[in-house]
Chains A and B, each alone.
Chain A
Amino acid sequence: DAGITQSPRYKITETGRQVTLMCHQTWSHSYMFWYRQDLGHGLRLIYYSAAADITDKGEVPDGYVVSRSKTENFPLTLESATRSQTSVYFCASSEPTRTSGYTGELFFGEGSRLTVL
């Protein structure tokens, strides 16, 4: 009963390198989300996906790429990491209902702390 898991939990990389953060959920939720959390900015949506092969931009998508070939996986890739992408990244999933709004009840992974030197 893992729920939603992220890997790696901690990552240190250098400017310009490509980094991929993995997210896997076992609930078969249709929606998946990537957020970043920074001091002074709270939680901000990077990208989200409504189903396999359907993704869309959130509030801060620049510098990130996502894909969703399978319902259970939603990797986030930083193609050329920058210091401003140092942050804690949270993956989340939900299964909206007819009355729950667009997002539905949201469940988070444990977070991935990324440091870009």
Chain B
Amino acid sequence: GIQVEQSPPDLILQEGANSTLRCNFSDSVNNLQWFHQNPWGQLINLFYIPSGTKQNGRLSATTVATERYSLLYISSSQTTDSGVYFCAVEPYTDKLIFGTGTRLQVFP
């Protein structure tokens, strides 16, 4: 089956720093989403982005489907950005598969 790898597994930042999270996948997909799981466990949909670039405030995402990766950019990080960021992909022959996540800690 498809492999979904996220890097880095852990990231520690000071408030105000920028970061890039990466999601690599091993096969063609027709659906890619980014989620944020906050420290209270809530899973929030950040982006539905099977290809191209989207921006939402300080967050933006880019998916290069032909090269099988997606990037999530967080600019001017805040403590509320802490949590785990998941990439999820849907191959053409299966349901949505989640990566193992990147754990982000932002300190004041």
The interface of chain A, by Cβ under 8 A from chain B, is 42-45, 48, 58-59, 88, 90, 92, 99-108, 110-111, 113
Asked whether any CB of chain A lies closer than 8 Å to the CB of B27, the reply is: no
**Cβ contact within 8 Å between B41 and A105:** no
Given A48-B95, A101-B31, A101-B90, A106 contacting B42 (CB threshold 8 A): no
Is residue B18 within 8 Å, beta carbon to beta carbon, of the partner chain? no
Q: Min CB distance, A54 to chain B, in Å?
A: 14
A105 touches B48 (CB 8 A): yes
A6 to B29, CA, bound (A): 30
The B interface is mostly helix, strand or loop, or mixed, namely: strand
* Complex-state Cα separation, A8 to B31, whole angstroms: 31
Kindly list chain B residues whose C-beta atoms are within 8 Å of the C-beta of A105. Answer: 33, 45, 48
Q: Report the separation of the CA atoms of residues A102 and B101 in the bound assembly, to the nearest whole angstrom.
A: 22
- B30 interfacial by beta-carbon distance below 8 Å: yes
| Known A42-B98, A106-B96: A101·B30 in contact at CB below 8 Å | yes
